[in-house]
Homo-oligomer: A and B are copies of this chain.
Amino acid sequence: MSESTMKTINVEYAIIGAGTSGLGAYSKISRKTDSLVMIQDGPYGTTCARVGCMPSKLLITASDYAHHLTTSDFFGVTSEGHVDGRKVLERLRRERDQRFVANNLRYVNKIPPHHKLEGHARFIGPGHLRVGESVEVKAEKIILACGSRPAVSKVFEPVMDRVLTSDTVFELEDLPSSIAVIGMGVIALELGQALHRLGVKTTVYGRSGKINALTHPDMQQEALDILGSELDIYPSGQVVSTWEDAEGAWIEFEQSNGQRVTKVFDRILVATGRISNVDQLGMEHTGAEFTEAGKVIFDPQTMLCSDYPIFIAGDAAEYLPVWHEAFDEGRIAADNALNYPDPVPVDRRPPLMVFFTDPQIAIIGQSFRELEGLEIVIGELPFSSPRHVVWNKVEGRIQVYLDARTGVILGAELLGYQAEHLAHLLALAITHSMTAEQVLMMPVYHPSAEELLRDVLIDAREKRRVYAAETMIHSNSVPAYS
Contacts and interface: CB of A to CB of B under 8 A. Distances in A.
A409 to B, nearest CB: 12
Contact of A323 (B95, B418, B446): B446
A201 interface: no
Contact of A77 (B65, B389, B441): B65
Contacts of A75: 61-62, 65, 88, 91
A81 B74 CA distance: 13
A90 interface: yes
B79 A386 contact: no
A164 interface: no
B427 A424 contact: no
Contacts of A442: 349-350, 424, 427-428, 431
Interface string A449-471: 11000000000000000000000
A180 interface: no
Contacts of A434: 432
A76 B85 contact: yes
B99 A74 contact: no
A392 to B, nearest CB: 8
A441 B431 contact: yes
A354 B61 CA distance: 25
Interface in A19-73: 48, 53-54, 57-58, 61-62, 65-66, 68-69, 71-72
Contacts of A324: 443-446
With most chain B CB atoms within 10 A of its CB, the pick from A85, A427, A445 is: A445
Contacts of A446: 48, 53, 322-324, 327
A464 B53 CA distance: 32
Size band of the A side of the interface?
Answer: 35 or more
A441 B323 CA distance: 16
A420 B445 contact: yes
Nearest to A362: B445
Given A427-B443, A429-B428, A81 B80 contact: yes
B69 A88 contact: no
Interface in A76-99: 76-92, 95, 99
Contact of A76 (B76, B87, B438): B87
A84 B77 contact: yes
Contact of A72 (B68, B99, B423): B68
A422 to B, nearest CB: 9
B62 A69 contact: no
Contacts of A425: 421, 424-425, 428
Nearest to A438: B432
Given A77-B88, A95-B389, A390-B61, A424 B444 contact: yes
A83 B76 contact: yes
Interface string A385-421: 0110111100000000000000000000000001011
A256 interface: no
23 contacts: A53-B386, A53-B447, A57-B390, A65-B75, A68-B79, A76-B85, A76-B89, A77-B84, A78-B84, A81-B81, A324-B443, A349-B441, A349-B442, A349-B443, A354-B445, A420-B450, A421-B450, A424-B445, A425-B428, A428-B429, A432-B434, A432-B438, A432-B441
Complex A-B, nearest 9 residue pairs according to Cβ-Cβ distance, in ascending order: A79-B81, A76-B88, A76-B87, A323-B446, A421-B421, A65-B72, A349-B443, A62-B75, A352-B443
